[in-house]
A and B are shown apart, each in its own frame.
Chain A
Amino acid sequence: SAVISQKPSRDICQRGTSLTIQCQVDSQVTMMFWYRQQPGQSLTLIATANQGSEATYESGFVIDKFPISRPNLTFSTLTVSNMSPEDSSIYLCSVKRGSGANVLTFGAGSRLTVL
């Protein structure tokens, strides 16, 4: 299965700033996703990162707030823009394994705290 590295693993940020999270996969993958996990909550899908084109965002998430890049089949970034304390969450990158059932591999996550 794919191995995913996320950076940073955690960070403390000031209100109004932006932070970019990197996701590196050790093999080429077609489907890559970004999730958010707010404190004490379950995971919510933010968007699908599409290689060579704009990401596809789920309801409630917009590109201006969460711009995503996917320059190739092994790498993606998620930026959390103009952060507020409500953005304090764990952000997780995941990839789909194979072309059959929807089995996802997740990175360890990036824990952001916004002061």
Chain B
Amino acid sequence: DAKTTQPPSMDCAEGRAANLPCNHSTISGNEYVYWYRQIHSQGPQYIIHGLKNNETNEMASLIITEDRKSSTLILPHATLRDTAVYYCIVRSGKTQGGSEKLVFGKGTKLTVNP
């Protein structure tokens, strides 16, 4: 099962920062936090991941609390094209084949409004 808790939906005004929270209070010391998003009718798209330190790339910033029990994905200037379901994922065990397994929860439906 997913080890994260996210609000089911959020709204954001176009051009403003979108801050998407995620709780992962049972995260282990060596588990990464991953963020993906799924725009309607498309496959999920990787955004960013982090372990302890805050991370930034061309798409977003990831802020992880010092105790690592929660994180926030920040889209600095949201556009209408950022409307999507955002998934916060913590590695949730192994596949039957022994590799890392990403378990997708229900995510947060972000709607960016004009």
Check A48–B95 contact: CB distance below 8 A: yes
**Residue of A4, A104, A105 with highest tally of chain B CB at under 10 A:** A104
Interface flag for A29 (CB, 8 Å) = no
Residues of chain B within 8 A (CB-CB) of A33 are 95
Report how many residues on chain A are interfacial, defined by Cβ distance under 8 Å: 28
**Residue of B45, B97, B106 with highest tally of chain A CB at under 10 A:** B97
Check B102–A104 contact: CB distance below 8 A: yes
Check B95–A42 contact: CB distance below 8 A: no
* Bound CA–CA A105/B46 (angstroms): 7
Check A42–B42 contact: CB distance below 8 A: no
Check B32–A102 contact: CB distance below 8 A: yes
Interface flag for A13 (CB, 8 Å) = no
Check A102–B91 contact: CB distance below 8 A: yes
* Bound CA–CA A57/B95 (angstroms): 8
Check A42–B104 contact: CB distance below 8 A: yes
A48-B97, A57-B96 given; A102·B34 CB < 8 A? yes
Closest beta carbon of chain A to B41's beta carbon, Å = 8
Closest beta carbon of chain B to A50's beta carbon, Å = 7
Check B46–A50 contact: CB distance below 8 A: no
The chain A residues found within 8 Å of chain B, CB to CB, are 4, 31, 33, 42-45, 47-48, 50, 56-59, 92, 94, 96-97, 101-109, 111
16 other A-B residue contacts (CB within 8 Å) besides A45-B102, A102-B100? A4-B43, A31-B99, A42-B87, A43-B104, A45-B95, A56-B96, A58-B96, A92-B43, A94-B44, A97-B46, A101-B34, A102-B34, A106-B44, A108-B43, A109-B41, A109-B42
Q: List 9 A-B contacts (CB under 8 A).
A: A33-B95, A42-B87, A45-B95, A56-B97, A101-B32, A104-B36, A105-B46, A106-B43, A109-B42
